[in-house]
Homo-oligomer: A and B are copies of this chain.
Amino acid sequence: MAHDETTPSAPEMSWFAWGDPERAKTLDPGLRDLIAQVLDADVHEMPPVDEADVDLPPSRLTDHLRQALAGVAGPEHVVTDDTVRLRRSGGKSTPDLLRRRSGQADPAPDAVIRPADHDQVQRLLELCSAEGVAVVPFGGGTSVVGGVDPLRGPFDTVVALDLRRLDALVSFDRTSLTAVLGAGVRAPHAEELLGEHGCTLGHLPQSFEYATIGGFAATRSAGQASAGYGRFEDMVVSLRVATPRGTLELGGAPASAAGPDLKRLLLGSEGTLGVITEVGLRVRPVPETVLDEAWTFPDFATGTEALRVLAQSDTRPTMARVLDESETFVGAAMGGREAAPGCQAVLGFEGTAAEVEARAALVRELMTAAGGTRLGPEPVAHWRENRFSSPYLRDTLLGAGILAETLETATTWTGLLPLYEAVSEALKGALVGEEGGAVVMCHVSHTYPTGASLYFTVATAASADPLARWDRAKRAASDAIADAGGTISHHHAVGADHRPWMVSEIGPLGAEILRSVKASLDPEGVLNPGKLVPERS
């Protein structure tokens, strides 16, 4: 089997785990036993099956379709090799990884198509719409909500549309501080390309090492420095989007009142309305100075209240997060360090030296008045070193029989602690019994003037049926979020996994709007079936 091409900046990800197979680790047996004791559960090693033993359904691509697709993208870019199809058979949620580790890779795409440019994407969508071929856009493949599952809907054939070759800096405007990037540019490569001009996006989600610019746009991503750089959608100044009905070119002006902002309808559309091929972005000069500070608070309520004060002031850090008691304790323990009691917060400031110093001084006053104690920069340095490595730790735990998964939401400041309690209780309540309990941790990592996100991490014994076990917990948490008025996702997006909660999120008439736009842009319904858009009930 031919090996897949990769972009210069990142190797192909493991088929059964996050990221670079070279960076996988095994869990220290002493630590594993300690975790089992805390969880009050038996844990058993869960090695993945051999790749050769994976149950990958054969490609159903007909010769007719192969020729037609090859006529657009070139025969070498219509790939049906099992190695390649397996690596486009889904994303990176814990259920995704559990399925593939156990040898289950059905559904898989019938082919992986690798177009070279916007025009090829446009022609491929017209072709697939005419031929009735389901199209699943695929960027970094980092979805944790089933967003890239190759569901075929009512169609015989489903293809993964791999956008990795749309890998260029299309244009750069130093005066306006804007750049147009191809949808397939991975985030580290984007930083390289912009770095040559002295600029940065400042967008660093946990998926940074693999995720693509198009994926960020399609899923309304938020990076760890969102307090300073904004959410990804707020950086987008223009979009080029291919649809079965033609191409959309939206935006360009810094602001407009020429009707609704249609860019916002494509941002977050998750490949169901069109395929984003180019993204015009606001960029920033690489900051002159980065200043980090850790703080400690007696408890989570005090820590979140301090972050509220910062978010509502005119002088904010570039990055601000606070961990609850459990995450503070576990984070330090996993790193072999001892945490201060209570809750840890990490702040980062970026900008010119003068700006950073002025902002940090004002913030220190606010944090101290809010009950915080300054710890110095060391815990932030540790966090920065490990900021993209949690998914590797998850794989390590999974190999040792410990299921670790995350979920997230956001709500108003008033609703934040009640939502925190409700979701924590729902998770713990769903994960009790003979199979042991769960450790539930949480942090606030994205703050806004009116509210904040909550990011939960759950660890529990995988048990004999880890998929069913997690499904129960996830449903309980999602229902608790919906009942408490939180959003079903702050930055993971909807995909297949959150789709059942979309009507509660936007109402039946909101769902009708999404269906009407989809009918207009994708009349045959070939774009990413089974994702995001609720079916008519």
Residues in A lying within 8 Å of B, measured CB to CB: 173, 175-178, 219-222, 228, 231, 233, 237, 243, 245-250, 252-262, 264-270, 282, 284-285, 308, 312-315, 351-352, 354-355, 358-359, 362, 409-415, 446, 448-453, 485-494, 498, 501-502, 505-510, 512-517, 519-521, 532-533
Known: A450-B178, A512-B520. A257 touches B253 (CB 8 A): no
Q: Which of B247, B256, B268, B507 contacts A490 (CB 8 A)?
A: B256
**B255 A448 Cβ-Cβ under 8 A:** yes
**B265 A269 Cβ-Cβ under 8 A:** no
A270 to B510, CA, bound (A): 18
Q: Which of B264, B413, B521 contacts A509 (CB 8 A)?
A: B521
| Nearest 5 A/B pairs, CB to CB | A254-B451, A516-B520, A264-B264, A254-B448, A253-B487
Chain B proximity of A529: nearest CB distance (Å): 15
A249 to B503, CA, bound (A): 11
Q: Which of B220, B257, B411, B510 contacts A268 (CB 8 A)?
A: B257
Known: A313-B355, A355-B314, A516-B519. A220 touches B506 (CB 8 A): no
A243 to B247, CA, bound (A): 29
**B258 A261 Cβ-Cβ under 8 A:** no
Q: Whose C-beta in chain B lies nearest to the C-beta of A350?
A: B314
Chain B proximity of A312: nearest CB distance (Å): 6
Q: Which of B228, B414, B516, B520 contacts A176 (CB 8 A)?
A: B414
Known: A509-B248, A516-B516, A516-B520. A255 touches B222 (CB 8 A): yes
**A351 B231 Cβ-Cβ under 8 A:** no
Q: Which of B228, B269, B315, B409 contacts A259 (CB 8 A)?
A: B269
Q: Whose C-beta in chain B lies nearest to the C-beta of A492?
A: B257
Residues of chain B contacted by A487 (CB below 8 angstroms): 252-253, 255-258
Known: A176-B413, A414-B176. A222 touches B257 (CB 8 A): yes
Residues of chain B contacted by A178 (CB below 8 angstroms): 412, 450
Residues of chain B contacted by A485 (CB below 8 angstroms): 252
